[in-house]
Amino acid sequence: MAEDPSATTFSVTDAGEPLSQRSKSQAQIIWEQFRKHEAALIGGGILIIMYLMTALAGFIAPYGLNEYRRFPVTAFHPPSKIHWFDPETKRLAKPFVYVTTAERDPVTRQRVYREQPQEGEYPIRFFVRRPEHSYKILGLFRSDLKLFGVDEPARLFLWGTNNLGKDLFSRVLFGGQISLTIGLLAVWVSLFLGLLLGGVAGFYGGRIDDLIMRLVEIFDAIPGLFLLIVLASLLKDPRNPLAQAFGLKMTSAETFLMVVIVLGLVGWGGLARTIRSLILSIREQDYAQAAKALGASESRILWRHLLPATASYVIVVLTLAIPGFILAETGLSFIGLGPSEVDSASWGLLLRDATARGISIQFVPWLLLPGIPIFLAVLSWNLVGDGLRDAFDPKKRR
Amino acid sequence: MLPFIIRRFFHLIPTFIGATLLAFVISQLVPGDFLTQKALEPDVRPETIDRLRQQFGLDLPWPVQYGKWIWNIVRGDLGMSFDSNQPVINVVRRPIQNSMYLVILSIVLLYAVAIPLGVYSAVRQYSIGDQVVSVVSYFGLAIPNFFFAQVLILGIFVTRSWTREAFGFNELLLPVAQMTSSNYLDLSPLRKFLDILWHMLMPAFVVATAGMAGFTRVLRAQMLEVLGSDFIRTARAKGLGHQTVTYKHALRNAVIPFIAGIGGLLPGLIGGAGLVEVVVSWPGITPTFLQALSRQDIYVVLGLLVVSSILLMIGNLISDLLLAVVDPRIRYH
């Protein structure tokens, strides 16, 4: 190909001028890459909506977590049928519900609820006040304003009710406060242990490395589910040594913290192992050697050069670990060892209702609905994690 | 090879001691013991409690108890169950067997479905089929095992109400609970086997789907890597057929990590079968474990922990050995 000498000269003179555009920062590049990952964006959107909804649970939920009515009975009420058409004019009307009353089905002996149109239509009203049922948002703002509701004696059960007649939709919203946050918290416990022990093992090597890796192996040698179950049942007991040492009474908040610690304790091994191997390989790279040759102290090399180099990898691993913790917590709650007690109800505990003694799931299928938010949350966290992994990977830049 | 095996085996001993010690210490931290529950029963005299405490050695300091216990384990004795008053080995043998059946069937299902799917989505990369497989994999990863089992049970019941209305057929498509039918004891051996297999299908399918998602994705990535390598191009250039190249050349290399992974899969799936066993009342290892824990039958809890961690370690050892056998590039010195 013939070279044009004038073009070369031109580019040389051009290089002297200041760049009109600043080069992109690392964060900008990652964000641009992440935005091209449609599935990850959808996942992120779903997560934002879910976290917002659970944060505002008191406002969105039409009823309280443990609110129920003894009479007239509402136990095992199926999801309320919302009517959109006026029965007389057959026109689209303001959505309304009917009052329902319980009856026994003559054949199956199951309780069934019949609508009572003669008692009038109860339209769904928005921004209603329920002074006797005030709540706090994020533990800060007290309010009694509800997004929607119907007048008594009608009741609006979007997802049906449980054996006591508590509204499942409201319980799912409040339950998310546990199920969605526990993964976020447990991941920090794992990160702390994994970063500390993995970093130390990889950096110092030798005896310390052997010792720490042996510890990881020991934790690995006990099946995770069983370790989780034993630790959870130990730490949930108010007489456990930790509770006695710190004078804890195992209130629901303390039990919640205990389960966070248990999840983190069971999950740190893999993280420590990957961080160790990353540190081992980075330690040999030229810039780390150069820092050492320049006389940098060990802690400076570790904190300024080695750990930041693992950051992108750690972020991805952590994002992909959160859904695992969510699944583990719902599993623990499902067998009754989770953080949920009377004044809180995680999604796993809600699903446990569906397997309770004497329940035939074909008559109360709505009790399985709390599985859907678990599925959505885990799916979305996985999508976001995969999106981040691709965004951080220079080979996958688009 | 032999020195490597021996070295690996000795390497396991400290890990084993560490794991049993960890399990034992945790079990000792549990406040109270089986006898504190027993003492609450009205017809039990305090002398009986003291006698039992001595008999089970519960009055000794815990390092001594651990020493006795671990020495017995080395000799193959897992101790006595407080609750049923018989050797732990008798209590845990059947549940472990039952879990094994479930796990083996689910591994067979896993391989039978995931290998063709992985190969397909690699060979037809970015096709509609590939995208469907990848979406289904994401779903499989996200759905909790126990919830999936519950949904399938509901589905089986709903199918029955349909078939009842359409054809008057009032039987469940698949059993949804227990391991055997009520008339199990009257069946011939072959029918007994088929009966258990019949009961296993649904839970084994659930357990298999959990592994399937990850398996298919990794196999796809492996296949893509192998299909892009030089020897595949050479094989094609020689004029070999598509089938031969895909299955004889590419797949054989792509499955290497999975063959090695078989060892790790077995104990891993026992843990994975866990909550599904609870949902379908499968008399397996997890329900037994939960029951023993709630009754503070410590030696049964410890026995199950020890057996499952032995399985885990043997599984990992087998993985390492298989990897060395299958992959000639790996050499141990």
Contact A330, A179 (CB under 8 A): yes
Most A CBs within 10 A among B146, B158, B224, B319, hence the mutation to make, goes to B146
A41: Cβ contacts below 8 Å, ≥ 6 apart: A34, A35, A387
How far, in Å, CA of B176 to CA of B165, rounded? 21
Percent of chain A with pLDDT over 70: 92
* Interface contacts (A, B; CB < 8 Å): 134
DSSP lists the bridge partners of residue A141 as: A137
Contact A350, A285 (CB under 8 A): no
What kind and span of H or E run contains B319?
helix B298-326
pLDDT (tens digit, 9 = 90+) per residue, B158-187?
888 888 888 877 777 788 887 888 788 888
B27 — contact with chain A (CB < 8 Å)? yes
Instruction: Select from A112, A78, A106, A81 the least CA-distant residue to A96.
Output: A81
DSSP lists the bridge partners of residue A149 as: A125
- Centroid of chain to Cα A202: 31
pLDDT (tens digit, 9 = 90+) per residue, A376-385?
999 999 999 8
- And the tokens for B136? 């289904």
Number of Cβ within 10 Å of residue A13's Cβ equals 8
How far, in Å, CA of B121 to CA of B132, rounded? 9
The per-residue pLDDT for A1 is 43
Contact A167, A63 (CB under 8 A): yes
Which range scores top for mean pLDDT: A218-227, A276-285, A318-327? Answer: A318-327
In a 13 Å sphere around the CA of B331, the CA atoms on its Cβ side amount to 2
* Among the partner residues A218, A230, A360, nearest to B26 by beta-carbon distance: A230
Contact A329, A229 (CB under 8 A): no
The per-residue pLDDT for B32 is 67
* Res A342 pLDDT > 70: no
How far, in Å, CA of A350 to CA of B69, rounded? 40
Amino acid at A119: E
Angle between helices B88-123 and B128-142 (to 10 degrees): 150
Judge: A230–B301 Cβ closer than 8 Å, yes or no: yes
In a 13 Å sphere around the CA of B82, the CA atoms on its Cβ side amount to 25
Judge: B139–A379 Cβ closer than 8 Å, yes or no: yes
B36 — contact with chain A (CB < 8 Å)? no
Contact residues on chain B for A374, CB-CB shorter than 8 A: 144, 147
How far, in Å, CA of B81 to CA of B77, rounded? 12
- Average pLDDT on A90-116 reads 83
DSSP code string of B85-130:
-SBHHHHHHHHHHHHHHHHHHHHHHHHHHHHHHHHHHHHTTTSHHH
B20 — contact with chain A (CB < 8 Å)? no
- Average pLDDT on B74-86 reads 82
For all residues of chain A together, what is the average pLDDT? 83
Q: Is the CA virtual torsion A300, A304, A309, A314 positive or negative?
A: positive
- Which of the two residues, A79 and A244, has the higher pLDDT score? A79
B139: nearest CA in chain A? A379
The predicted model scores a pTM of 0.86
* Among the partner residues A215, A220, A354, nearest to B150 by beta-carbon distance: A354
ipTM for the assembly: 0.85
Most A CBs within 10 A among B12, B36, B137, B150, hence the mutation to make, goes to B150
B310: nearest CA in chain A? A221
How far, in Å, CA of A221 to CA of B329, rounded? 28
**Which residue is listed with tokens 């398996």?**
B215
Instruction: Select from B208, B214, B206 the least CA-distant residue to B148.
Output: B206
Per-residue confidence band for A372, with pLDDT thresholds at 50, 70 and 90:
very high
* Res A71 pLDDT > 70: yes
* Res A45 pLDDT > 50: yes
Per-residue confidence band for B265, with pLDDT thresholds at 50, 70 and 90:
low
Per-residue confidence band for A149, with pLDDT thresholds at 50, 70 and 90:
confident
Most B CBs within 10 A among A222, A240, A396, hence the mutation to make, goes to A222
A254: Cβ contacts below 8 Å, ≥ 6 apart: A243, A248
How far, in Å, CA of B180 to CA of A365, rounded? 26
The per-residue pLDDT for A7 is 47
pLDDT (tens digit, 9 = 90+) per residue, A235-276?
777 777 777 777 666 677 778 888 888 888 888 888 888 888
For all residues of chain B together, what is the average pLDDT? 83
- Average pLDDT on A287-297 reads 87
* Among the partner residues B22, B161, B308, nearest to A218 by beta-carbon distance: B22
Contact B34, B296 (CB under 8 A): yes
pLDDT (tens digit, 9 = 90+) per residue, A17-44?
566 677 777 788 888 888 888 888 999 9
What kind and span of H or E run contains A103?
strand A99-104
Domains of chain A by residue range: 62-166, 171-396
- Which of the two residues, B88 and A397, has the higher pLDDT score? B88
Amino acid at A236: K
The per-residue pLDDT for B268 is 60
Judge: A233–B16 Cβ closer than 8 Å, yes or no: no
Contact residues on chain B for A225, CB-CB shorter than 8 A: 271-272, 274-275, 286
Q: Pairing mode, if any, of strands A92-97 and A83-85? A: antiparallel
Judge: B312–A221 Cβ closer than 8 Å, yes or no: yes
Judge: A221–B157 Cβ closer than 8 Å, yes or no: no
How far, in Å, CA of B160 to CA of B173, rounded? 7
pLDDT (tens digit, 9 = 90+) per residue, B33-58?
667 777 777 777 777 778 777 777 77
A320 — contact with chain B (CB < 8 Å)? no
- And the tokens for A16? 């002297």
- Three-class HEC string of A113-146: EEEEHHHCCEECEEEEECHHHCEEECCCEEECEE
Q: Kindly report the CATH number that applies to the domain delimited by A171-396.
A: 1.10.3720.10
- And the tokens for A112? 């069934």
